[in-house]
Amino acid sequence: MKIAESCVVSIHYTLTNSEGETLDSSAGGDPLSYLHGAGGLIPGLEQELSGREPGEQFKATIQPEDAYGEVNPALIQEVPLDVLSGIDNLTVGMQLQSQSPDGRTQVLVVDAIGDESATLNANHALAGEVLHFDVEVAGVREATEEELAHGHTH
């Protein structure tokens, strides 16, 4: 069966950045399963998987615009430290949660801490990155009615 919209797909993968550092991998574990066409993968990788069959192995390079987007400077802001005074042991790299004006939870990463302010970044950690995938299609099957209704695998 070939990968097409509304199929449940299982893949093994290794994700590296342009420097060759491994960022994520399913090696030694269960394959990643997703519902093809439901937005569960970055668009570029999903597009690379379309039409493939179980057992196929391939490499794919995904540009930022087909992954997590470019870094958006509007999502990086300086915040006075007194606004963050309720946070114990504020450190660079710490992840904070905030509520956006529309009510969604937003993850912010502390990029820098100065004497009077901290730089918070709401971009995805992989924004602006060219992603390199080494993929093996482990399985493809038809989705159940329940999976289709929920938009994800069970």
Same domain (yes/no): 90, 22: no
The answer to whether residue 140 sits within a structural domain is: yes
Same domain (yes/no): 61, 35: yes
What is the average pLDDT score of the chain? Answer: 95
The answer to whether residue 2 sits within a structural domain is: no
The answer to whether residue 1 sits within a structural domain is: no
Q: What is the CATH number of the domain that holds 77?
A: 2.40.10.330
Q: Each residue of 6-24: pLDDT tens digit?
A: 999 999 999 999 999 999 9
Same domain (yes/no): 51, 87: no
Confidence of residue 103 (pLDDT cuts 50, 70, 90): confident
Q: Each residue of 106-130: pLDDT tens digit?
A: 899 999 999 999 999 999 999 999 9
Number of domains in the chain: 2
For residue 1, the model assigns a pLDDT of 94
How large is the C-alpha radius of gyration of the chain? 19
Provide the residue range defining the domain that includes 102. Answer: 73-121
Same domain (yes/no): 20, 43: yes
As a whole number, mean pLDDT of residues 93-103 equals 88
Same domain (yes/no): 106, 141: no
Confidence of residue 44 (pLDDT cuts 50, 70, 90): very high
Q: What is the CATH number of the domain that holds 24?
A: 3.10.50.40
Q: Each residue of 62-88: pLDDT tens digit?
A: 999 999 999 999 999 999 999 998 888
Query: Measuring CA to CA, how many Å separate 134 from each of 43, 141, 147?
Result: 16, 21, 27
As a whole number, mean pLDDT of residues 57-61 equals 98
Whether residue 99 is predicted with pLDDT greater than 90 in this model: the reply is no
